Chains A and B, each alone.
Chain A
Amino acid sequence: MTTTISRPTVSSDRWDPRRIPGGGGLALGVAVAALILVWVGSDGYRQTLVISAATYALIALGMYVPYLMAGSLSMAYSAYAGIGGYAVGLISARTGLPLVVAWIAGPIVAALVAVVLGMVTRRLSGFFLAAVTLLFGMAFTAFLIDAESVSGGSGGLGNLRPLNLLGWTPSHYHVVVGSAVVVCVIAFLLDRLRLSPWGVVVRTMRDAPRAVEAAGVRVPVLNIVALALGAMIAAVGGGLFTYAAGSITPDTFTLNIVFLAIFMPLIGGAGTPWGAVAGAVIAVELTLNFPAVQTSGTLLLAVGVLVIMLVAPKGVVGYADKLRTRLWALLRKERDRG
């Protein structure tokens, strides 16, 4: 597993990853992920940090699709992650199906719910959409508590079966590596998607919906596809966390996570999906692994978001990119002079 990760970073001179769209981001992302995995080693705490970061990253990536690409801020992502988590819990507890099915069923159900919610709210945007989806998230939690026969009520579902892939049972470390791989793959695919014709249309739709509509593209359909895709990614994240943690309750994914997930792309940089991933890593570092401010990591995060939004609107990745461009220009100048 680890060899496949580090392969793209050892690029030969002839094969330039920068020539593939999104390749640069992937190379950097994979390199950082590989570094993090080496740092983690067999330390259980660090492994859990990676799982948490991967979960946050997947929820943030899920929100990234409709929010930064299509410009609709849906805040029902606690519900979508919850659906992914409950898929794992329910398939483990109530059926004899292989557990992998949960990562197919969960995202599909989440996408269906997102489509229905998207249809009902298709005329809404901005503040109205945010309010309705927040209320939906609250109602979903209420439903999980009420629907005891389905969801196990407030106690939730636990005691999950281990994953079994054709006779191979991955260890906890394998799950950690796998989650990092999944995050990298999804971020890369989203980055490709962003640069693809569809992505360009979706982003144009955000800025000039009328122009896109006039060009013969059905804006509401595109919007709903973006919402469904986002919900699926968040559901994968929810399933991952539930599997790694071993249980899920109605309160596992709270509104707090939704707020954090809005902020992650801002912290990391909204220009690319990798920004959401970077933001998730920073958020986990601040709220879980920052000794000096353990009592108020979330406060620091909130203040940080405000500062970043005002001072560095392109986020950490945008800042790093600017730095890189300047550095390269400087180097080129040196070379020219030499």
Chain B
Amino acid sequence: MARWVAGMATLALAVTACGGTGDDADSPTDGSAKGAPIIIGMDEDSTGPGASYSTIAGKTIRLAVQDINDKGGVLGRPLRLVIENDESDPTKVPAVLQKLHSQGAKALFLQSGSAAVMQAKSTLTQLGLPAIAPTGVTATLVEPPDNELIYMLANTTTDWAEVYCGAFKAANINTLGILTDDTTTIAALNKALLGGMSCVKITATEKGAANASDLSAQVARLKDANPDAVLVTSVGGAFEVLAQNTLAAQLKDKLRFSLASIGNQPSSWKLANPGALEGLIFMGSINQDNPRTKALTELLKKANGPDYEVTAYDAEGWDAVQLLKLAIEKAGGPDDPKKLNEAIQSISGYQASFGQGNFTLSFSATKHLGADGPCGLSLIEFGADNRPKGPWATFQPPCSS
């Protein structure tokens, strides 16, 4: 008996150990860059609840680092990634960041659940390390307290509210029903987003558990409230698809809107019933009219196979690395964290690889959110095959800001 157990344990250990070494093979090499490596830390949730989205950007961040190293590195020095996993567990975040710091990281990428990133802010201040949260969209991440060192790229919910309002006006929508999940990420997002949408009357707000297996009650309540349109706010994944499946079955003729997550998670499109996503309009950022998006798409298809669906997460991860490269070059080296932080704040007019063609990112001491104006966003409509069909004809955010 004991021997059997010991055997099982050894087997498990062996399997686990293989997994550990397997991951190392993914990490980028120094490429053609010589000189002392510049160490960049990445807190990536690769096994926890945030793994489904943080690994998408994490993969592209690795690719971007490899690309930079192949082209000669930063100031002639290669970038080297050190990666730790916090499993989106806020109690692990301080230790993970400290570990990255003790491995010599000069700047960090935070690729984790938003509760974990929230927890990270105070540790960043303790460490004095600048950090970029490439895929963050919660405005509170870059607001006080402890926001001196943290940066985000994409448009936040404030801009989203503006875009939705434009869309509602164009489609003559006066009342709105909300279907939302119960995660902390979304609770914070709702507060910011819905607070900024004074253009419609919100007649019903229904909440379901993020791991809900049924939302028909919530949708039935929305049906009773009878709004002109429904907006689903969720971190995406199973909840979003269940919501769309249920809405498609019970509220067929209402216009449906969603946040960005459904568009960024191609794997969850398969979860939807046939045709259930048709007509759904989501807040996209990938616009093939943008030449840099096109270039990135080709690169990613070459790396990941021709069927690869490029998402905003990919583009944001890619741009985060490019921005850091720019900042290190501006600061003349990575070693003075204060100078590096100021260098990030001096970046202005960076042409992003997401959003519309002339969308740029700029930072300053008071602007820790890169997006300049709402045209980093684009309203995209799903087709009958449960795949994004293209820009929504009725309304697109104007690019002037």
A interface with B by C-beta (< 8 Å): 43-49, 51-52, 55, 142, 145, 153-156, 158-160, 172, 241, 244-247, 249-254, 256-257, 284, 287-289, 291-296, 298-300, 303-304, 306-307, 310-311
- Residues in A with CB closer than 8 Å to B121 are 158, 246-247
Asked if A154 contacts B6 (CB within 8 A), the reply is no
Nearest A-chain residue to B90, judged by Cβ? A252
Is the CB of B46 closer than 8 A to any CB of chain A? yes
Q: Indicate whether B123 reaches chain A with its CB closer than 8 angstroms.
A: yes
**Minimum CB–CB distance for A173 against chain B, Å:** 13
What CA separation (Å) do A182 and B246 show in the bound complex?
52
Q: Please report the number of residue pairs spanning A and B whose Cβ atoms sit closer than 8 angstroms.
A: 154
B113: which A residues are within 8 A, CB to CB?
251
B94 touches A252 (CB 8 A): no
A43–B99 alpha-carbon span in the complex (Å): 10
Q: Is the CB of B99 within 8 A of A156?
A: no
Determine the interface band of chain B, counting residues with CB < 8 A from chain A: 35 or more
Assuming A288-B92, A295-B23, A307-B5, is B122 touching A159 (CB within 8 A)? yes
Interface positions, chain B 43-94, Cβ under 8 Å from A, are: 46-47, 84-85, 87, 89-94
Which residue from chain A places its CB closest to the CB of B103 in the assembled complex?
Answer: A45
| Contact call A52/B184, Cβ cutoff below 8 A | no
Is the Cβ of B85 less than 8 Å from the Cβ of A294? yes
Instruction: Return chain A residues, CB-CB under 8 Å to B99.
Output: 45, 288-289
Q: Are B119 and A45 in contact (CB under 8 A)?
A: no
Q: Add 18 more A-B contacts to A47-B98, A155-B184 (CB < 8 A).
A: A43-B102, A44-B126, A45-B95, A49-B98, A145-B182, A154-B183, A156-B118, A158-B145, A159-B122, A247-B119, A249-B119, A288-B95, A292-B17, A295-B19, A295-B47, A296-B47, A306-B9, A310-B1
> CB within 8 A of A45: which of B9, B101, B182, B188?
B101
B16 contact from A252, A287, A300, A311, Cβ within 8 A: A300
Residues from chain B with a CB closer than 8 A to the CB of A296 are 16, 19-20, 47
Which residue of chain B is the closest to A294 with respect to CB atoms? B85
Contact (A48, B91) CB under 8 Å given A245-B122, A252-B119, A300-B13: no
Residues of chain A within 8 A of B127, CB atoms compared: 44
Are B188 and A153 within 8 A (Cβ)? yes
The reply to whether the CB of B369 lies closer than 8 angstroms to some CB of chain A is no
* 8 closest residue pairs by CB, A with B: A246-B122, A159-B145, A154-B184, A45-B98, A154-B187, A45-B102, A251-B115, A48-B98
Docked-complex contact B98 and A294, CB < 8 angstroms: no
Q: CB within 8 Å of A: which of B20-55?
A: 20-21, 23, 46-47
Task: Find out whether the CB atom of B188 lies under 8 angstroms from the CB atom of A155.
Answer: yes
User: Is B94 a contact of A245 with CB atoms below 8 Å?
Assistant: yes
List 26 interface pairs A-B (beta carbons < 8 Å), by A numbering.
A43-B102, A44-B102, A44-B126, A45-B95, A49-B95, A55-B91, A159-B145, A172-B126, A245-B90, A246-B125, A247-B146, A249-B115, A249-B184, A250-B184, A251-B90, A251-B113, A252-B91, A293-B19, A293-B20, A294-B23, A295-B47, A298-B47, A303-B9, A303-B13, A306-B5, A311-B6
